[in-house]
Structures are given as structure tokens and as C-alpha cells.
Structure 1
């Protein structure tokens, strides 16, 4: 099965943001920085977020720019569609969804982002964000002012290569999503989604067989282009077939190979 949501990779550099327009209702506001003692060198997401092969001096340069990560409460947004693009964001803890709003007010989920993923690259092209980024749970992000990241890219080759991989991952993620929506049955979409999530959790050191879904079935259906009822029906079918055990949002994969063959 194809990988429907390849992990975008993130890096972490942080300085105070320039003053931005007041956020829309529900958006998280920029809070005054406060030191919390967490550094890239001791962060559990460093293998996912940071470029590999940095010298101690290069790592120190990056850490010198870091202020504390910012807490985003469940339901708050980091940015909204049409907000000016200033920064990209590394998810340090928690999870997010990205959504676009249709003219009739319907919400379309375009991605789910876990710790170690990046957010905000949608704004690089036009200078404005094209979607909302909403916290699925209380989460933390590290904020990376893009102009400073560009400067560091010119000075540190490993960082430049890392940013290229981040952008490449976004291209792969979007093309995979198009293939999922255009060529797979509903059953295959749900199976592929679970397998992809399992693999992403494995890479972060969590159990690939037992996990708790942070998103609702309605949000999964929106992402996969199917109805909520269809998601529930597919999960029930997989359970009857002995492929997994599902209790609410708690998922236990019983037959990984069987799920792959769906």
C-alpha cells in the first residue's frame, strides 16, 4: 500500500516573532517567551526535527536562537488561512490537523501532523497561509521565523539540505493524498490510513500496534474523502475479520500483514 501521509520533517530555531495582526477568534496568540530549560540537544523529537550531522558549533548556533516552545490548547489555531506567512512550526508535542473551509462552510481536513512534523510550509509560495492549523489536543510547537531560517540555510549546508527535504516531503504527501482519493476504495483508504499512522508512531518510538486516535472518525472521513458512517463501517469490518480491535478511539492492530493486503 502507498504511504498516504509521508512524514514532513521539521527543524527547530526560534526567536521572537515580529508583531502580527490580531488573530481571528479561536487562534492562539503569541505569548511572551519564557525559558523552560528544554533544548534541542535534550528534546526527544530531535531525531525527527533536526538536521543530521551538525557539528557541536552548528548545534550551538541553532540552540542560541531557541526560546521556549509555545503551548497551543486543544481547538486553538497556530495560523489561519490568509494570515501573512512569517514562520514555520515544528510540533514538539501533541498533534494538529490542517483544514480548508469550503464556501458553504464545510471543513475539509487536508492533513494530520504529529510530534516531529512541520507546519506552515503552505505559506512559502504566496506569502499567505492557505489553511488553518488546529490543535487536536493540548500541544507544543517551536516557532521558526522563515527569514532567519533562510539565512541559516546559506551558512549551514546541513540546514539547507534539511529544508529541501521538508519541502520534498510536502510534495510527496500531497501526491500520495491525490492517489489515495483518486484510486483507492473506501476499505483501502481506511486500511492505508491506519497503517501509515502506525508507521509514523513507530518512527517516534511509540507502539505501532496499539494507539489512541486523537482525531474523530468524522475528521478521518473528511481527510479520506468518505463519510463518517463509512469509516465506522470499515473499522467494524476489519474487527470482524480479525485485523484489528477497535474500542472508540483506541485501536489495536492484530494482523498487520492482513491489513496490508486489504
Structure 2
């Protein structure tokens, strides 16, 4: 049950409305999961990718490497890292099963970031020229490629909107919601997740300091939106993802009234 202070901050909803939204989310997750499986099947059949096993900490490609391949993730979790002007590492994207990597290298002819595995996973390596040749005669594959590019643009937009419009606690809550949703769409459990990022990396990704991330997680735990397991503070229990969604929505500031 939510802390009363949190409940007061959220818009009033009925139990029926909450249940309906949960059902809609479950149906959406199932639909997306089926789409991911279908895309992987199509890529495997049409392109015969080279399979590569990557373990935690290993790099798929590095910034500055000559562009030649696109990558599709068949399993595992990956992060993409840029170097800021002062030499600090900046986490710019998270990638899950079914996601593509390498689009940033198409225009400049070299990759703009590092792609690093956060756990053991399998990457499918696709020669870019082979992808183009296949897309020329297979409209379904061309559609898959365009949809992957569109999703990446949408995620970049959503990340920017989160940084610009949400307060710190809601930003962390939305990050956890995104992680849980990404797992749910791939048929994985969401009631307990292992954050394969340090507090510093999470803050780096969200535009926050390590200390702010830690305080936000503690406040979310006190409000019973999340719990930490006995194993360690990287293992996070999420009793109800819908409660995180409602918390984020309740944190959005109303749009300013138009000037008269």
C-alpha cells in the first residue's frame, strides 16, 4: 500500500481504472514481445547474422571505430557511452533484447560511442552493405529497419523530455519504470530487477549526481514504491509498476497558462 503522502500527490483513480490500465499494459507488453520475436526471426532468416557472445564489461565496438556493421541484440543488456568534452564518460542509451546498435555510425562513417555489455549476451553482427542489399528486395526487412530507427529517435526524445520536465525523484521512478517495462516486453519478471548500473552511472544517464540518485531511491523506498532486497541495493523490488507510472504522471508540472 502506498504511503498516504504519495497517495495524496497522485490523481484520484478507482480500483477498476487501475485494473483496466494494468490489463492494457499487460496486453501491450505481450504485443511488443511478439513483435520482437518476429523481428528476430525475420533478421535470422533473411540476413544469416554472425553470432557473437559478449560478456559483462566487453565492448562490441568503440567510438572512432570504422563503421561497417549494424548489431541486433538477441540477449543481454548493453549500454552506450560517449565521452564528454572534459573526458568524463556519459551513458547515453540502454539496449535490451531486440534492440539495434550502430545507427550512429552510418552518417560519419565511424561509431560515435562505445557499446558495452552489462551482462552476458548474444549480439548478431550484420554487414551494413548486406542489410541494404536485402532491404532492396525485401520490403518487410526495410520496414523493420525503419521502425528500429524510429524507436531510437523516440527514446532519445523521451529521455530528453524526462531530464527537462521531471523532478529528481520522478526521474528515477521513470527510469525504473522504463527498465521494468523493457523487461516485461521481453517476457521477463518485473517485480524484482537487478540494476546492472552503479548509482554514479544512473545519475550520469539521468543528468543527476550520485548523491541525488541515492536520496531519490531512498525516498521512493520510504514511500513504498520500491523495496531493496537483503542481497544488496542493486536488487530492487517493484511491488506495482503501475504505481510508479502514476507517481511520475502526478509529478508532471501543469503547462503554464497562455499569455493573454
User: Per the shorter chain, which TM-score range?
Assistant: 0.7 to 0.9
Could you tell me how far 1:117 is from its partner in structure 2? 1.4
Contact 1:53 1:158 (C-alpha < 8 Å) held by counterparts = no
- Matched with 1:116 is 98
Query: Secondary structure of the equivalent of 1:249?
Result: strand
Structure of higher CA gyration radius = 2
Equivalent residues of 2:62, 2:111 under 8 A apart:
yes
Q: Distance in 1 between matches of 2:40 and 2:234?
A: 35
Query: Contact between 1:100 and 1:109, CA under 8 Å: does it hold in 2?
Result: yes
The yes-or-no answer on 1:250 pairing with 2:232 is no
CA–CA separation in structure 1 for the residues paired with 2:46 and 2:85: 45
Q: How far did residue 51 of structure 1 move?
A: 3.3
Separation (CA, whole Å) in 1 of partners of 2:196 and 2:89? 17
Where 1:78 maps in the other structure, the secondary structure is strand
Structure 1: stretches of 5+ with no match in the other structure: 1-44
Kept in 1, the 8 Å contact 2:225–2:239? The answer is: yes
Counterpart CA distance in 1 for 2:135 and 2:46 is 12
1:144 aligns with 2:132: no
Does the alignment pair 1:189 with 2:171? yes
Query: Which ranges in structure 2 are unaligned for 5 or more consecutive residues?
Result: 1-32, 248-260
CA distance in structure 1 between the partners assigned to 2:158 and 2:100 by the alignment: 17
How far residue 151 of structure 1 moved from its aligned partner, in angstroms, is 0.6
**TM-score normalized by the length of structure 1:** 0.75
Aligned match of 1:51: 39
Aligned twin of 1:66:
49
Q: Contact 1:52 / 1:158 at 8 angstroms: preserved in 2?
A: no
- Equivalent residues of 2:70, 2:128 under 8 A apart: yes
Offset of residue 105 of structure 1: 1.9
CA shift at 1:255, angstroms?
Answer: 3.5
